[in-house]
Chains A and B, each alone.
Chain A
Amino acid sequence: MLSSLPAAAIVAGGTDLVVRMRNGERHSYLIDVAGLSEIAGITPEEGGRLRIGAAATHGQIAADGTVRKACAGLALACSQVGSPQIRNMGTLGGNLVNASPAADSLAPLLVHNAMLALEATGGARTESLERFITGPYRTTIGKTELLCSVSVDRLEGYEEGYRRVAKRAAWAISRLSCAWALREEGGLIEDVRIAVGSCTPVPFRPSRAEDFLRGRRREGPVIAKAVEMVADEIREKSGLRPSFAYKLPVVRDLLAEELGGRSCS
């Protein structure tokens, strides 16, 4: 349908689109996908993955039993998006296509190696979240494409965490967020994934810090070195921004506290 209608837009929850329309954005058609069963639901997938329909609301994701058990950071992030009303209305798909750099779900999705499934009349494709978001509010989505679902790693047995920093206790845009998942075996870090959001133009996984941590003991000096590496990687990605005077010390201190042994799982 999208390919046949000019100047059409997809609407699910409408929480971003309607605000843009109030500010003057015009569309000749709005295609409501919120009720499409094909893009709804949260179901396990083979290969230890979980498929989350693009039309799943943040509220549904936060409440889902499997998400809470196997993607605890994602559940926590979704439970803090906007307000209860926004969580009832706003969908994961809408959040991803809007691609605000402050979107809470992005960091945990990166930690879970999120893969997006898109469809158009011409065919379907999958793309990693890293590739999909190209910049603030910019994605690779084509004009006639529909985001259908997101698939993520189930990380049972991992410790997981998510922290966000915002100007008030609820209902506030993230100034900074970080997600992580870690598995220890015999005192050593067997696997670790970290993602930082709302800091660089696109959220990212500091892979050098992750590589450094894998195989090492989970202790103070090791973590301190790792979080310094994260800060370095942030500086490399974005240069030095005015907001970094605040954000870099916070990323360091937050991650140190989180990786040092605080989890939500």
Chain B
Amino acid sequence: MKRVEFTLNGKAVACDVEENELFLHTLRERLSITSVKEGCGIGECGTCTILIDNEPRYACLTLAAKVEGRDVKTVEWLGNADTLHPLQRAFISRGAVQCGFCTPAMLLVAYSLLLKNPHPTCEEIKEALSGNLCRCTGYVQIIEAIESASGKGD
């Protein structure tokens, strides 16, 4: 076992992990962060997306030991029931959610994009989302929600 210390959603966290443990497992099983999903386990669906130092990565391909000293964000960082993030409000108002399984990951990618690029074009949004599969929505309303939250669109 190995002790890993990192920041999770703004709080310092210390966790004992197996040497070859995957961070997806650490998040879901040890830290009970079930908003990070396992859709395939091989980095081919995107539902396990988290932000490490504000950059999107797949938790299922991240060794827990590599998270030492890093800043980790999951969707819980964005908001809570009393204070929703503008992206969360936009996802609600634009119909960007259907079954919801891909939603936390989509929100994190959107959040990361807007940090770097506050007014992305539609093409830039599509590209940012190109590592996250959705089977329900056809992506259109997700893109519209991000546009709306970035201040474009109505």
Residues of chain B lying within 8 A (CB to CB) of residue A22: 41-42
How far apart are the CA atoms of A211 and B55 in the complex, in Å? 44
Residues of chain A lying within 8 A (CB to CB) of residue B127: 84, 170
Residues of chain B lying within 8 A (CB to CB) of residue A245: none
How far in angstroms is the closest Cβ of chain A from B65? 7
Asked if B20 lies at the interface with its beta carbon under 8 angstroms from chain A, I say yes
Asked if B89 lies at the interface with its beta carbon under 8 angstroms from chain A, I say no
- Flag if A83 contacts B46 (CB, 8 Å): yes
Residues of chain A lying within 8 A (CB to CB) of residue B46: 83, 85
Residues of chain A lying within 8 A (CB to CB) of residue B56: 84-85, 88
Instruction: Specify which of B42, B60, B66 is in contact with A32 (CB 8 Å cutoff).
Output: B66
- Flag if A85 contacts B19 (CB, 8 Å): no
- Flag if A15 contacts B43 (CB, 8 Å): yes
How far in angstroms is the closest Cβ of chain B from A104? 15
- Flag if A30 contacts B131 (CB, 8 Å): no
A30-B19, A82-B131 known; A18 vs B55 contact (CB < 8 Å)? no
Residues of chain A lying within 8 A (CB to CB) of residue B41: 22
- Flag if A89 contacts B62 (CB, 8 Å): yes
A82-B131, A170-B130 known; A19 vs B58 contact (CB < 8 Å)? no
Interface size on B (CB < 8 Å)?
25
A15-B43, A30-B20, A88-B55 known; A83 vs B131 contact (CB < 8 Å)? yes
- Flag if B63 contacts A86 (CB, 8 Å): no
Asked if A124 lies at the interface with its beta carbon under 8 angstroms from chain B, I say no
- Flag if A21 contacts B42 (CB, 8 Å): no
Residues of chain B lying within 8 A (CB to CB) of residue A129: none
Residue of B nearest to A88 (CB): B55
Residues of chain A lying within 8 A (CB to CB) of residue B44: 171
Asked if B22 lies at the interface with its beta carbon under 8 angstroms from chain A, I say yes
Residues of chain A lying within 8 A (CB to CB) of residue B42: 19, 22
Asked if B119 lies at the interface with its beta carbon under 8 angstroms from chain A, I say no
Residues of chain B lying within 8 A (CB to CB) of residue A32: 63, 65-66
- Flag if B20 contacts A85 (CB, 8 Å): no
A82-B131, A85-B46 known; A18 vs B22 contact (CB < 8 Å)? yes
B49-85 toward A: CB 8 Å interface, digit per residue (1/0)?
A: 1000001111011110110000000000000000000
Residues of chain A lying within 8 A (CB to CB) of residue B55: 88
Q: Which 3 A-B pairs have the closest CB atoms?
A: A83-B131, A170-B130, A85-B131
Known: A18-B60, A32-B63, A85-B43. 19 other contacts (CB 8 A): A11-B66, A14-B62, A15-B43, A18-B22, A18-B43, A18-B62, A19-B43, A19-B61, A22-B41, A30-B63, A34-B66, A84-B56, A84-B127, A84-B131, A85-B46, A85-B58, A86-B43, A89-B62, A171-B44
Q: Name 15 interchain pairs, CB-CB below 8 A, sorted by A.
A: A13-B61, A14-B61, A14-B63, A14-B66, A15-B43, A19-B43, A22-B41, A30-B20, A82-B131, A84-B127, A84-B130, A85-B58, A85-B131, A88-B57, A89-B62
